[in-house]
Amino acid sequence: MLDNDHVECPNLIDAARLMKRKANTKTNRSETNADANLPYSIEECWAFVDAAKKDGYNMLPELIVLGMYTGCRIEEL
C-alpha cells in the first residue's frame, strides 16, 4: 500500500523480516535444520533403557524396548 501511495502513515512492520522470500519446500527446510530428525544410535537407545531401570520405573524399560522394536509411540504402547 505504501509503494502505491495508497496510505500516508509510516509502515511499522518490517515485512522483509516477517515474510520469507524462500518457498517453504522440503529442500529449503532441510538446509536450515539438517540434524533435527536423525535417529538415535544403538548405544543411545540402550542408555535410555538403562536409565529407566536405574530410576526404578516398573514398566518403562520394557515399553522402551517394545517401542524400539515396533516403532510405536509411547501413547500407542
Q: Is the pTM of this model over 0.75?
A: no
For residue range 15-41, what is the model confidence (pLDDT) as tens digits? Answer: 666 666 666 677 666 555 556 667 888
Q: Which residue has the higher pLDDT, 1 or 46?
A: 46
33 vs 74, residue with greater confidence: 74
Other CB atoms within 10 A of residue 64 CB: 21
Domains of the chain, by residue range, sit at: 15-70
For helices 42-54 and 60-70, give the axis angle rounded to 10 degrees: 160
The C-alpha cell that represents 75 in the structure block: 501413547
Question: Does position 43 have pLDDT exceeding 70, yes or no?
Answer: yes
